Chain A
Amino acid sequence: MMMFLAMDFGGTFVKHCLMDAEGNISERGQFPAPLSFREEFVNAVSTLYDRYRGQVQGLAISMPGVLDSASGYAYAAGAYSGILSKTNIYELLKDAVDVPVSIENDAKAAILAEAWLGALKGCSGGAAVIIGSGLGGGIIMDGKIRRGSHFASGEISGLMMESGNFSFDSIAGSRAGMTGFLVRVAQAKGMNPADFEISAFIQSPVREDPTKPRITGKEVFEWIEAGDEEALAAYRSWIDDLIMVIMNLKAVLDPEKIVIGGGVSRNPRLIKDLQEEFKKRMEPMKMFGMPDCDLEACRYTADANLAGAVYNWMQMYGRE
């Protein structure tokens, strides 16, 4: 069976492993992200590849950024933008790696993993809503990721939730991600949002006691389970936002299935509440012939980016 070297370039670490064509993982490892120099990036890839040279038939990379997988060109590269922006990654690695190389955006890779072996497997049309600190998304058609005209298809983070509001507060990425949820809980309870585990991009008042551990989503869900009414109200309004995102995906694409990912999607209460609310909202539309759509949690938790990178490699070089 074919064997691949898969690398996932994150903001802090690079995770890597060997993976076969069925998604089985062996020889995991990680090293600090080479963010400072372009040579450092090439060396990191080259050193790791040398260790597995002859054993692997392909190098599959997942990384942040706006990437053209077909040509290898990185328009932007997230945390790596300083060293890899406006660079052709395939050209850059040409001398270091003598097997075919593939790159894929990390969020898209995570969704490809679902299409390959997860909740979107065998699905001709599907969409994913990934709840991170913000909101990510992607669209699968015939097992492939949809890219659109400018690699921005599925950019649900940008959905405008309030017609006349042109600020960042209006976008789904601000409202419907974990940060949006936790800020809302803080406001409902009259607490300082800075005491919650929110994105560093949000401006909020200074913390009174910076040594106190930040309040996580997990804790907030415990409050909700315990019947905290303010937290529950904030939770309900967050659910409404997520439903609005889901409804828009549904109306435009008519997918077979929409899957919810991100750490919080492992919480069964969230998935159950989303399913119930979605069903309620769909009811009046069914009278007009609007068809149903499945809503469920993503199956992959860790390793999604690595698996998706490998699936992308197989799609690019035609060895599925």
Chain B
Amino acid sequence: MEKYIVLDIARSHVSYAIVTEDLDFLEKGRINTDYHEKKDLFDPMIELIRRYKDEVNGVSITMPGVIDRETGFAYSGGMYNWVRNMDYAGEVSKRVDLPVVICNDAKAACMAELGYGNLKGIRNGLMVMILNTGIGGAVVADGKLLNGEHFAAGEFSYMRGDYKERDGVNDMFALANNLDGLSRCIEEESGKKNMNAMRIFAKLQMGDEAVLAGVRKYCDMLATYIYNMQCIVDSRRVVIGGSIADEKMIIDLIREAVDRKFDNFSYQNIFKPEIMECCFHSNARMYGAVYNYREVMKNRKAKESE
């Protein structure tokens, strides 16, 4: 059975795990790193991989940035501003003498759903990840993750949603429906300030009507964007990810809002997708890393045999 070392690179640390192709986690850990210069990250990371060199078949990395997951080339790297048009996977591979693949971290979370979770077996689907600062996600087209021309397909943050405010920035999906957007809706409806996700869930559980009205307002906006994505993609299922997807009640409220939108809209040629929560939470990116590794290797083998 194949084994991989998967690494999830974040701002101040790298989480890693040794995972089998059957998704069993044999070992898990994290090392602290810095991000200012290449060696701050590369030196400790390379040392870590070398420690497991004889145990694993390959390396799969997830990180922020615009990345060509087929070739391992990184166009940019989020806060790692030294990552600019570099053969990232190639450089790591040379130093550890193992096959290395990389992909964007949000896309990895989507690939976990596509490979092993709630998008498995779905030919046309969408993943919408509600994040602190924006909306991430992915499009599954004909059973495959859609890369787009510049690996930016599924960057839903940039969608525009409302005609009235089109000149401002408020009608951008990122700002309307990120977690701040949720707090804003609740403040508008209930007057309660600085509500974080935990406190919102608690209030919902207690049956706070004003908070519920705020969440409904937020879900109605979210449903508009889901409807608009559906005009373009025509998917069977939309999977909701991000920390708010942990709360079943929110998923139910999103589903109700999507029902309201699709059932009452006068244009009836767009099909209502099924709304589901994501399957994987804390380890999503690592599962996705396994899927990405296996897919990329499969594609490379297919190309070689051609």
Contacts and interface: CB of A to CB of B under 8 A. Distances in A.
A253 interface: yes
Given A149-B123, A252-B156, A162 B232 contact: no
A157 B167 CA distance: 22
A150 B152 CA distance: 25
A117 B231 CA distance: 26
Interface in A193-209: none
A160 B234 contact: no
A244 interface: yes
Given A161-B163, A244-B163, A256 B149 contact: yes
B157 interface: yes
Interface in A268-287: 284-285
B230 to A, nearest CB: 8
Contacts of A255: 148-149
A247 B227 contact: no
Interface string B120-152: 000110000000000000010110001111111
A154 B232 CA distance: 4
B159 A247 contact: yes
Given A125-B148, A170-B163, A254-B148, A152 B234 contact: yes
Contacts of B161: 160, 163
Given A141-B141, A150-B271, A166-B265, A248 B160 contact: yes
A170 B161 CA distance: 11
Nearest to B124: A149
B268 to A, nearest CB: 9
A122 interface: no
Interface string B220-248: 11001001110111111000000000000
A249 B153 CA distance: 10
A155 interface: yes
Contacts of B152: 254, 289-291
Given A149-B123, A151-B234, A152-B234, A251 B141 contact: no
B160 to A, nearest CB: 5
A250 B155 CA distance: 9
Nearest to B156: A251
A173 interface: yes
A187 to B, nearest CB: 15
Interface in A203-254: 240-241, 244, 247-254
A173 B227 CA distance: 15
Interface residues of B, number: 52
Interface in A106-154: 124-125, 139, 141, 146-154
Contacts of A157: 231, 267, 269
B158 A171 contact: no
Contact of A156 (B65, B147, B231, B266): B231
B162 interface: yes
B166 interface: yes
Interface residues of A, number: 51
A152 B128 CA distance: 20
B221 A250 contact: no
A141 B149 CA distance: 10
B256 to A, nearest CB: 15
Given A162-B162, A163-B220, A244-B166, A148 B155 contact: no
Given A152-B269, A162-B164, A289 B66 contact: yes
Nearest to A174: B267
Contacts of B228: 159-160, 248
Nearest to A294: B149
Contacts of B173: 251
Contacts of B159: 247-248, 251-252
Nearest to B144: A141
A155 B269 contact: yes
A293 interface: yes
A254 B139 CA distance: 11
B110 to A, nearest CB: 14
B157 to A, nearest CB: 7
B76 interface: yes
Contact of A168 (B155, B266, B270): B266
Contacts of B267: 157-158, 160, 168, 171, 173
A36 interface: no
Contacts of B270: 152, 155, 158
Contact of B234 (A155, A162, A170, A253): A155
A162 B224 CA distance: 9
B139 A253 contact: yes
B127 to A, nearest CB: 12
B154 interface: yes
Contacts of A155: 231-232, 234, 269-270
Interface in B208-226: 220-221, 224
B264 interface: yes
A167 interface: yes
Contact of B148 (A160, A171, A247, A253): A253
B66 A291 contact: yes
A249 B173 CA distance: 13
18 contacts: A125-B148, A146-B142, A149-B234, A149-B235, A152-B234, A153-B232, A156-B232, A159-B228, A160-B228, A160-B261, A160-B265, A163-B161, A171-B266, A240-B166, A240-B167, A248-B160, A253-B232, A293-B149
